[in-house]
Amino acid sequence: GLQCYEQDGDYAQCRPSCVAGAPDPQHWDGKPWSCKELGSRTAGEPACGKPGQDCTHSHCCADPGLQCFVKNASFATCKAECVAGGPDITDMDSTPWTCEKLGERTPGAQDWVKDQCSSGWESCVKTNCCKVPGEQCHKQNDFFGECKALNSCMTPGWSCEKAGLQTPAPPAKGGKVSPWALQKCGRINEGCTESKCCLGMDVQCYEKASGWAQCKQSCVPGPHADDKNETWSCKPLGPRSYGLATKGSPSLFCFSVLRTVGYEAGLMAAQKAKGAGIFDCDDHMLLTADGTTTVGGEKTVQFTGAPIVTSIDGTAGNTFL
């Protein structure tokens, strides 16, 4: 599924596709590509894998920034990171990974991009590339264009023709947490010696010494004042958790502030009964001024309200207007 494309008279590369006249943010230099086809395209589909697909034989990944890591003798897949000896909380089971690397990590945005490419209101028609990860040059006309998020160009009077390639964003880390992890993995400050995995936001299993490990957000090797100055090795024993994503990834925490009188409590109860609104997030919180109101059997959390004052136009407000 690959075609040999020429960059210039000195270099060519086998690639799935090529954009003529533009540099490639993933390539090691910022020279534009002529995209002259040399030879015929190889039959079939590109072999490099996506996350979740087996890359045991291809030894390569399709998405920027990913590396093919080995789980065991029968499976390997593309991930952003891997901790040897620990499980993957997004995997189907708790089997530990060897994390042997197969092939090279797929390149992400190169260093030259931040110096050579455009951003903000700068015209990108001449550079044909963008500094900000996730953005691509969109034309107003043949003389002016701006870097915008992919498919976000809807400005009246713009052609919105895409120029160059999208600058790749850093690879996503984490994912939807598997059911087994909810039962086996520790929460913050809990032990994780056997499970070698943790659940929470930015939490990882760190070893103190042989026989004890704990879920912490960070760990500095040496004496720990919060543990009677005993020495920690702080060796990571498993993957870092990037949120408790049980319904989708990334994880989403939602909250709602509601009045204790009137229709709002009833409206929230109707949403809760349907599992809609904030109740469809990975987790949620209901906030009221008294903290005793219940919504669909769920007690709300009290928060301190802001004083109601009078704004400069004579209406109520709780901030300067």
Asked whether the predicted pLDDT for residue 303 surpasses 90, the reply is no
3-state helix, strand, coil in the chain (%, to 5): 10, 30, 65
Spatial separation of the C-alpha atoms in residues 72 and 206, rounded to whole Å: 23
> What does each C-alpha distance from 79 to 5, 65, 90, 170, 276 come to in angstroms?
28, 9, 11, 12, 32
For residue range 42-88, what is the model confidence (pLDDT) as tens digits? Answer: 998 888 999 999 999 999 999 999 999 999 999 999 999 999 999 99
Dihedral of alpha carbons 228, 229, 233, 239, sign: positive
Position 319 confidence tier, pLDDT thresholds 50, 70, 90: low
What pLDDT does 321 receive?
A: 47
- Tokens 């976000």, residue? 152
Closest CA to 81 of 213, 238, 243: 238
For residue range 241-274, what is the model confidence (pLDDT) as tens digits? Answer: 999 999 888 889 999 999 888 999 999 999 999 9
What pLDDT does 145 receive?
A: 97
For residue range 90-106, what is the model confidence (pLDDT) as tens digits? Answer: 999 999 999 999 999 99
Q: Are 109 and 135 in contact (CB under 8 A)?
A: no
Q: Are 225 and 74 in contact (CB under 8 A)?
A: no
Q: What are phi and psi of 277, to 5 degrees?
A: 60, -135
Q: Are 77 and 91 in contact (CB under 8 A)?
A: no
For residue range 105-161, what is the model confidence (pLDDT) as tens digits? Answer: 999 999 999 999 999 999 999 999 999 999 999 999 999 999 999 889 999 999 999
The four Cα atoms 88, 92, 95, 99 give a dihedral, to 10 degrees, of: -40
3-state secondary structure 132-177: CCCEEEEECCCCCEEEEECCCCCCCCCCCCEECCCCCCCCCCCCCC
